[in-house]
Every structure is written in structure tokens, then in C-alpha cells.
Structure 1
Amino acid sequence: MDWDRLRIFHTVAQSGSFTSAGNRLNCSQSAVSRQIRALEESLNVSLFTRHARGLVLTHEGQELFKTANGVVQQLEETQRRIMESKQSPKGLLRITTMVTFGAVWLTPHLKHFMEEYPDIDIKLILDDADLDLAAGEADVAIRLHEPEQADLIQRPLATFHVHLYASPDYIDRMGMPLDQSDLCNHDLITFGETNAPTLKNLSKILEIIQPGIKWKPRLQVNNLYAVLNAVEAGMGIAVLPDYLVHNRKKLVRIFPDWEVQNYNSFFCYPPELKGSLKVALLRDFLVRQIKAESNIL
């Protein structure tokens, strides 16, 4: 199969018209049309259905486009790796992670990363739901739970610690819980109904504390920031990650010598970015930063 014709076909399929494709390829509309006609004749199939509003791929055209698109992506990735190997890393790197971790811990640390690599621009996408890296919604994800997408490259990043917390005002009013079973006599704040994987895991911790007990929360909120603010306001006791509570003098750890539950985090990216220098630099940077601050995580 002629690669030049396949490349032109891919551009036409993306553009939706011969004219738009010609503009992108810097050639005439008639030249593009001739190449597509020659490709169709060589394959003995119609690749497009012609409409007044543009071109629509036939079933055969859709199959060919999938293959052509995969080839183009691999070529672009190869080109990117070659370029990165010959020059300092540059360009946009899209990172996604959950809202609180991204806002509280990651964002301040990215300042040092961007100072170290001034030609790398960052787009930080904070979302408690998992973005689809395979679909191109982001380049890299920092997941604070076991990744659910099996096709991603996953590197263990850090172990995070969580504990039960309350405010001094709440303790003065309601007293300090004497043991784990005494929590039934206290106002508990939980995450309620949520599809966010990390928040789901935090919600399950109360089940681990006292198996078989059906906890009745006093307040349910599906946002970690809101839970933190509710605890600081003295509304009850909640499970919170230590990184979120660090340096907040308003909170008291309940059962300070008891490890409630730890959970692992992962640095994830799609296989096509395996050779990306930008991704490798970010991964190594995060590992160094987390190792230096493991006492607060």
C-alpha cells in the first residue's frame, strides 16, 4: 500500500473534505481527490461516501482509518522520542490527579519542577474521577488507589497514611473516644454516595475499624475538602489523609498510635509514552520529593 496515499487518506478522513485536506497538505483539492481515487482503485473499495456537506467514511474506510491512525500515532511518538533525545525536554505535559492531593501537595511542588525544566509547560487537571489516559484525556495520572485500567504502565509512587481526626472544640464538647467501639457514640462524617475510587476506599475504612457495625453518619459529603472543613468546624470525626491535615493546628488525631489503614499511590501513563523523557523526568522528580517528605504523607 502506497504510504503517501495512505497519509493523504488519513488527512482527508480527519478533515472531512478534499479542500480542507489540501490546505493542510499544501496541495490542490484536485490532487488530493486523484490520490484518494487511486487508493480506492488499488483496494477495489469505496472509502468515502460523498455528500453535499462533506465526506463520510464507509465501513471499509473506517477500518482503514483505524489502521492509518495507529501508524500515524506511532510515527509521531517515534519522532517525539528522537527529538527529545537530541534536545532539552520541552512542550506540554498534562497531569491529572484527585482534587485535594493536586491542590494541596502537587501544585506547590510543581513550581520546583517547572523551575528545573523551564521549557516544559504543565496542564494540571484535577478530578476525583479517573480520566481516561488511553483516550488521550491526559498524559500522566497520579492515582491514589489501585489503577483500574489494565493497559496503563503503572509505577508505585508512595504509601499514604490516613487517620481519624476531630477538632479540639468537638473533643471538648463530646469527649475523646475511649476505644474504637466508642465511635458509635460520636458524630461521624463520611463521604456518602460517590463514584470517585479514592473516596470510596476512604469510606470503607470505617468498615475495617469495626466489622459488622452499620455506621450511621451524622453528615455525608462527597468532597474531601468539604469533609475537612466540617471536621475543622467541630461537626464530627472523619477519616482524612495525613497529607491533607499536615500543618493544620485545628485538628486532633484520634487514636494517635493506631494505624487505621494505609493505601498505595501509582504513577500511570499509556504505553505510547513509555519512551517520553518528560514523563520520566516528572516520575523521578516526584519520587525524590515524596521520599524527602515521607513523614507527612
Structure 2
Amino acid sequence: MNLHALMLFYNVALTGSVTEASKRLNISQPAISAQIRNFEKQYNIILFEKKGRNLVLTSLGEKMLKPTEKLFLIEEQIETMIEDYHKHPQGKLRISGNYLATSFLIPKWASLFKQRYPEVEVEITTVNSQAALERLTNYESDIAIFGNNEVTNPNKQQLHFMELYQDEYKFVVASNHKYANRQISLEDMVREPFIMREEGSMTRKRLLEVCSVQDVSQPKIELQFNGINEIIQAVVAGYGVSFVSSLVASPFIQRGELAIVDVIDVRFTNNIVLCSHDRDVVEGFIRDFISIAKTVRDAL
């Protein structure tokens, strides 16, 4: 298979014209057109057709676009691996995690890891749970940490999953709130002003699902933040209520700054997992980071 011709096809399809592909690749327009025609002739196919002044993909061209995109994405990933190998001779650890993981779990593990491996570069990326898994499967990360319940159709082939915590989500209020340490109905709870993550966050989605299932009015979100810590601080200051991870809330509850509200018939747990490629094929320092995470987990 002529991969160079496929690359030309992909760039023409991506830019929508031979002219733009020529500028992007610094290859002459006649050379691009000739190689694509030769490719079509070799396999007796047609990838593009003209409509007015524009080039559009044929039905076969449309089918070929996605797998071709994946092919060159893999090429980019291999190039990045080689580049990292030369830039970071002692190694590079790339971690992807959801907001909970990168804000409250990974910092301590990363600190312990750097004390052991000061020369290893550490790159931490915050994404949603689904994206964390996808980055791992696409070899854009070495380790992914996320809520397993937040991921759809996880591809477990050649991946190692380790459960870290069974996280339970709780309704929390300031310690002097009228509902502090009480048991109430969901209907009463949603009458309070809520402080939550942005639209699309998994916690907010779960809360709205619970309200829908129990046929209760949706809560009014009076304050919205992109971070969990900001939500906690606002609740501690005395305004509103929230629905948050118990991993995050526990230190504030232990210090008496927050209190739990036991809302009848609302139980939501989320398994936090660490996922990596097969341990037999990853570098030793990656296995050691996993061991650090496991040690910290077991000490709790």
C-alpha cells in the first residue's frame, strides 16, 4: 500500500482542496493530483469527484477517511514516542485523569514518585473520564485514573485495571446548616440553593438523573464552578448545599467544616480506577508509580 499517496488523500480530504493541501505539505499541486490519480488507477477506485469548483469525497472516500485518520494518528504517536525518547533519556511519565484524580489524588503520588525518580519528566493532563481512557488506549498516556462508572464501553484488551477507591457521593452543607447531620427527603433537599460543577459534569448529571427517577423537581443551581475545591469552599462559607465526592469532602467533615445530609433513597457510588498498559511492556518507573498509588491507598 502506498502510504504516501494515502497521506496526500487524507490532507486533500481534510483541507477540501489540492491547493490547500499543497500549501500545508509544501508539495506541488500537480504532484499531489498525479499521485492520487495513480493510487486510484492502481486499485481501480475513485476517491474524489468534482462538484462545481469543489472536490468532494465519493462514498468510498468517506469510508476510507476515518481509518486513514487513525493510521496517521498512530504515526504521530510513534513520532512523539521517539521524540520523547531523545528529549527525556531518563524517561517520561504521562498521566491523564479526571478532575478528582488530578486535583486530589495524583499530587501526593507524583511528589513521592519524583523523590524517587527526580530525572523522570512527569506530565499530568486533566480530562474527563472517557477521554482519560481514550488517551491511554491511543498511547497518549501511560496511566489513566478515572471514575469507572463514568466510562462507556471500556476497551479492556491489553489494559490493566486496578481499583483504587469506592467513592460515594454525599450531600454536604456547612456544619451550622439546618440540615446538618439530619435525614431528609430528596424533595426537601432540592429546595435548597445548590452549588455544582458546570453543565456536563458527571456528578451534576447523576444528581439530575436521581431527581428524574424519583419524580422530584430539579434543584436550582445558584452557583457554578469548574472545580470541586471551589464548590467545597463556597459551601463551607455557609451558602447553599452540594453533592460531592466523599473522598474530597472527608477532610472538611473531619475538621467540622462540613456536615453530611442523609437524603433518603439516594445512594451513588463511583469506582475510581487506575488503568495502564500491560505491566510486562511498560517501563519500570511506571510500575513503581502504580505501586506508590497502591501503597497510599492501602494505608488509608
- Partner in structure 2 of residue 33 of structure 1: 33
Q: Distance in 2 between matches of 1:182 and 1:66?
A: 49
Q: Distance in 1 between matches of 2:219 and 2:70?
A: 50
Q: Return the TM-score normalized by structure 2.
A: 0.61
Tell me the CA shift for residue 236 of structure 1.
Answer: 6.3
Q: Distance in 1 between matches of 2:188 and 2:243?
A: 16
Letter in 2 for 1:142: I
Pairing 1:251–2:252 present: no
Pairing 1:228–2:250 present: no
- Partner in structure 2 of residue 263 of structure 1: 270
Q: Distance in 2 between matches of 1:41 and 1:59?
A: 17
Gaps of 5+ in 2: none
**Structure-2 change in CA distance of 1:162 and 1:109 (3 Å):** same
- Correspondent of 1:147 among 146, 150, 154: 150
**Structure-2 change in CA distance of 1:106 and 1:121 (3 Å):** closer
Can you list the C-alpha shifts for 1:181-210, whole angstroms capped at 9, x where unaligned?
699999966567964323444678999xxx
**Structure-2 change in CA distance of 1:82 and 1:181 (3 Å):** same
Q: Secondary structure at the residue paired with 1:122?
A: strand
Q: Distance in 2 between matches of 1:34 and 1:13?
A: 15
**Structure-2 change in CA distance of 1:199 and 1:157 (3 Å):** farther
**Structure-2 change in CA distance of 1:119 and 1:213 (3 Å):** same
Q: Distance in 2 between matches of 1:203 and 1:144?
A: 18
Tell me the CA shift for residue 156 of structure 1.
Answer: 3.6
Pairing 1:95–2:59 present: no
CA contact (8 A) 1:245 1:251 kept: no
Pairing 1:46–2:53 present: no
Q: Distance in 2 between matches of 1:275 and 1:49?
A: 48
Once superposed, what is the RMSD of the aligned Cα atoms? Answer: 5.3
Tell me the CA shift for residue 124 of structure 1.
Answer: 2.5
Q: Secondary structure at the residue paired with 1:146?
A: helix
CA contact (8 A) 2:208 2:218 kept: no
Q: Distance in 2 between matches of 1:65 and 1:176?
A: 56
CA contact (8 A) 1:163 1:253 kept: no
Q: Distance in 2 between matches of 1:61 and 1:130?
A: 29
Tell me the CA shift for residue 215 of structure 1.
Answer: 9.6
Can you list the C-alpha shifts for 1:256-291, whole angstroms capped at 9, x where unaligned?
9xxx7653113458x9x999858x966862562354
CA contact (8 A) 1:144 1:198 kept: no
Q: Secondary structure at the residue paired with 2:41?
A: helix
Tell me the CA shift for residue 97 of structure 1.
Answer: 0.9
Tell me the CA shift for residue 58 of structure 1.
Answer: 2.7
Q: Give aligned pairs, total.
A: 279
Gaps of 5+ in 1: none
**Structure-2 change in CA distance of 1:131 and 1:46 (3 Å):** same
- Partner in structure 2 of residue 125 of structure 1: 126
Q: Return the TM-score normalized by structure 1.
A: 0.61
Tell me the CA shift for residue 146 of structure 1.
Answer: 0.8
Tell me the CA shift for residue 150 of structure 1.
Answer: 0.5
Q: Secondary structure at the residue paired with 1:95?
A: strand
